[in-house]
Structure 1
Amino acid sequence: MSKFTNYDVIRSPIVTEKSTMASEHGQVVFEVAIDATKTQIKEAVEALFSVKVKAVNTLVRKGKVKRFRQELGTRKDVKKAIVTLVDGQTIDISTGI
């Protein structure tokens, strides 16, 4: 596995109704590199946003099989990280890094 920069690990924030509800409990959801580890995700979030991370939970959403013209194709797998921050810390994902 190669060395990631912080921007390679954290791809983008995920803004959905469910992730907005999680933000009320001190959690932020990011799309991350498929082969990033929880430790790398924690270090990247702490370095980019200057916050303390309590826990990192990850999941891999498998790519759907879709039809492209006459052929079947598969979308890419996407890894999401649910980052729980220490009490009192917040990340405003609406502003740029």
Structure 2
Amino acid sequence: MNVLKRPIITEKFAALNEVGKYAFEVHRNANKVEIRKTIEKMYGVTVVKVATMRTLGKTKTKYTKSGAVSGRTSLIKKAIVTLKEGEVIDFYSGI
């Protein structure tokens, strides 16, 4: 099971990056200990705190010739990771 799916890079979470907090989309069965170990191993930083949240999928409707088709997007789990003072994660170094 791959714990980390992708980093979440939005305006809201970019503002948290200045404070030392980073957001990731994680596997929905991952726990805080697994998330902490994976981030410390992958990025070489010290994690102080991990906060997780589950967001329910949104209801979506598409109108087609044969009528309306309704469905839901999938549930995702987010993790907000607080790093030790002075440490940063650079997402753009490989670009």
The answer to whether TM tops 0.5 is: yes
Structure number having the greater strand percentage: 2
Instruction: For structure 2, list consecutive stretches of 5 or more residues without a partner in the other structure.
Output: none
Aligned partner letter, 2:88: T
For 1:65, the equivalent position in structure 2 comes to: 59
Give 2:19's aligned residue. 25
Q: One-letter code of the match for 1:94?
A: Y
The structural deviation recorded for 1:67 is 1.3
Offset from partner CA, 1:7-33 (integer Å, 9 cap, x none): x10110101111111001101110100
Shift of residue 72, structure 1, vs aligned partner: 1.3
C-alpha distance in 2 between matches for 1:40 and 1:31: 13
Aligned residues with identical type, % of pairs: 38
- The letter for the 1-side match of 2:78 is K
Stretches of structure 1 that go unaligned for 5 or more consecutive residues are none
Q: Report the TM-score, using the length of structure 2 for normalisation.
A: 0.89
Alignment pair present for 1:40 and 2:40: no
- The separation in 1 between residues aligned to 2:69 and 2:81, in whole angstroms, is 38
**TM-score (normalised: structure 1):** 0.88
Which stretches of structure 1, 4 residues or more, deviate above 4 A after TM superposition?
A: none
